[in-house]
Structure 1
Amino acid sequence: MPPMSTPRVKTIASITVGEFFERHAEVLGLSLHGESHGFDRLISEPAINRPGLALAGFFSYFARKRIQVFGNSELAYLKKLPDPMRADRFRRICDRDIPCIVVARGATLGDDLMAVAKEHHIPVFGTSQVTMKFLNAATIRLEHDFGPSVTMHGCMVDMRGIGVMIVGKSGSGKSETAVGLLERGAALVADDMVRLKLVGGELIATAPDLSRGYMEIRGIGIINAANLYGLASIRPDKRLDLVVTLKPHADLNEVDRLGLQTKTFEILGQHIPHVEIPVAPGRDTARMVTIAALDQQLRRLGYNMADEFNQKLLNHMAGGF
């Protein structure tokens, strides 16, 4: 990783039930059952729990900090219990100070169980999604909510499916290079400030809400990429696949002319392929970044042009000139 200031890592210890509902209700098909209380309760683990064992009375290792999901099996088990026992088993779960309950498959809790949830100020939601589909979708969104993040100075574009972040000193031409990439069909993710969040082992880049779609071009000012290049020229987020550092040629101690050296840029513990491109007046930097992105795409598919040429050279040398 090149020497530069270390960005501050932002971590999330918990989110409120209200935040989870506001962000993901539409995608997860969530609707509120009963009264809107307990929205300030905290979800402290990015995972989902099915309380089947707890309903049977086994509370060792009960994941009380997670969202509790009731599917067909939990509801069928509760239905077979006598009325007093059913409410008692459900109450023992609510006594653990759980954040909220989600009932899957369009089902509902009985009035007696809803009364217990209300007594404990625990919000109850419903979804029409099948249980496993909800579990998978909600877990992905929780991982995104809880993922560590950093904000870095640079430009992020989607170049033919490869997420490229362009970094460099102020005035090195990052935004101008990004404009050149937009004219070649790339899509802008972020300009100037790039937010990177670690989700499922991948770094996902986004822009701050205020500046999304806007760019600052020295000598011109603020431009709106969508207005100039169309809606297809912007993307809300993109996985980071390649970091390109723009450097004055004089600042590069050594330039890898064959591309055999494998360099990486470490962000949040992830090692991202890294290319340093010398910049100079009149040089088409956007074209160089395009080539770097296409080369990275081929490398992801298992084809390395530099290795191929090097092997041909070695074979030629072995055979004599």
Structure 2
Amino acid sequence: MAMRRDAAVEVSRLLAEDSAALQLETLSDWGGLERLLTRPRIQKPGLALSGFVKHVYADRLQVLGLTEVDYLLSIGETEARAGLEAYCKRKLAAMALTRGLEPPPPLMELAREHGIPVLRTPLMTSSFISRVTRRLEELLSPRANIHGVLVDVLGVGLLLIGRSGVGKSEAALDLVLRGHRLVADDVVEVMIRPPDTIWGAATQLHQHHMEIRGMGILNITHLFGVAAVRDNKKIEVVVELSDLHEDDYDRLGTENNNWPILGVDIPLVRIPLRAGRNISSLIEVVARNQILKFRGIDSAREFQEKIATHIAMTTGTATPSDAPEEASPRQVSGQITGLVSLGEVE
């Protein structure tokens, strides 16, 4: 998994089709859209319009709202031009006006002189700042491509991983037939969304398609409708499908295994493959069990505590209140070496 990070984004990306939610248009006709934005945070000029430009960051998008435009119109043109001259000399990446406001003439003249692109959106300032910050975070965040399949099962994002040919796509197709949703097949593009969540999506070329051995490429949207796919999903559990030996996986379900993605630990569940096992049903149960964990219910640990308490009471080694909460069956009794069923405790 090779990580890449876009250290800078051209201003033109904010005008692309995938940034349509910003509703930006270009007011300037002198180019400059190749200028770079390197930070997701925007900047409101404030005092910079009066000439105090010490803390103006040229690599941020400059957002001018009603307050800034009214200020420029309320002062004399000579004073406005003096403040804007110092402001524009900072080699700004771009300026964006909100609320569909008309730019004051001195602003457009000096922007042209310094080659600064001027954009405009009909959105309210607060809404635009929220959207453009989120969009820049997406464009500038670390990314990587992972070999796997990402599905949305009962609202839980499951990333299926395993060796090539292990049956990830077939399991995902069976989940789609059960009413769940495909996000990405074969190549999953992952990224960090602040502060520490991992989201996955398909690459533009593979979006909504799936490869099934013996059948070729399938368009899931055409086969099952738009409700069978989604564009992206937060990854909440990694499910590894593998040929594990008997002692290679957690039979109790109490081990906290994680799989790091871009430095963020994601819960890992290993499902051993055996002939006749219904893998898609097991994957669905993983999602249901994760929903319970979101609600503070951990069935495996509750069962473990019940066994530990029962053993302590029957052997007289401790009272129920003294039984260790996190003790495993191996820790409670040296005679217990594996999965303890209720029928084995007398």
Q: TM-score range by the shorter chain?
A: over 0.9
C-alpha separation in 2, matches of 1:115 and 1:159: 55
1:282 counterpart SS class: coil
Decide which of 199, 203, 215 is 1:208's aligned counterpart: 203
* Residue number in structure 1 paired with 2:322: none
Q: Let me know the Cα RMSD of the aligned residues.
A: 1.5
Return closer, same or farther for 1:20/1:240 CA change in 2, 3 Å cut-off. Answer: same
Query: Where do 1:1-321 residues align within 5 Å?
Result: 7-23=1-17, 26-35=20-29, 37-200=31-194, 201-250=196-245, 253-320=247-314, 321=346
Larger radius of gyration: 2
Question: Does the C-alpha gap of structure 1 residues 89 and 23 become closer, same or farther in structure 2, counting only changes over 3 Å?
Answer: farther
Aligned mates of 2:287, 2:60 — CA distance in 1: 40
**Contact persistence 1:196–1:204 (CA under 8 A):** yes
2-structure distance, mates of 1:228, 1:69: 44
Contact 2:50 2:84 in 1 (8 A): no
1:59–1:36 Cα change, 3 Å: closer
2:296 is paired with a residue whose SS is: coil
Distance 2:23 2:166 in 1: 46
Counterpart of 1:277 in structure 2: which amino acid? Answer: I
How far 1:264 sits from its partner (Å)? 0.7
Residue 309 of structure 1: how far off its partner (Å): 1.2
Letter of the 1:98 counterpart = L
Q: Give the partner amino acid of 1:256.
A: D
Report Cα offsets for 1:94-138 as digits up to 9, x if no partner.
111111111112212112221111111111111122211111111
Cα distance in 2, alignment partners of residues 56 and 121 from structure 1 = 21
Secondary structure of 2:189's match?
Answer: strand
Number of residues of Structure 1 aligned to a counterpart in Structure 2: 314
After the TM superposition, which segments of 4 or more aligned residues of structure 1 sit over 6 Å from their partners? none
CA contact (8 A) 2:13 2:19 kept: no
CA contact (8 A) 1:25 1:31 kept: no
Q: Residues 25-77 of structure 1: CA distance to partner in whole angstroms, max 9, x if unpaired?
A: 53112122232521111112111000112123322232211010011222232
Q: TM-score normalized by structure 2? A: 0.87
Q: Distance in 2 between matches of 1:70 and 1:108?
A: 11
CA contact 1:155–1:167 (8 Å) conserved in 2: yes
Amino acid at match of 1:270: V
Distance 1:95 1:24 in 2: 31
Q: Which runs of 5+ in 2 are unaligned?
A: 315-345
Structure of greater relative contact order (alpha carbons < 8 Å, 6+ residues apart)? 1
Decide whether the 8 Å contact of 1:265 with 1:272 is kept in 2.
Answer: yes
- State the one-letter code of the partner of 2:131: A
Identity over aligned residues, as a percent?
34
2:262 and 2:7 map into 1 onto residues whose CA distance is: 17
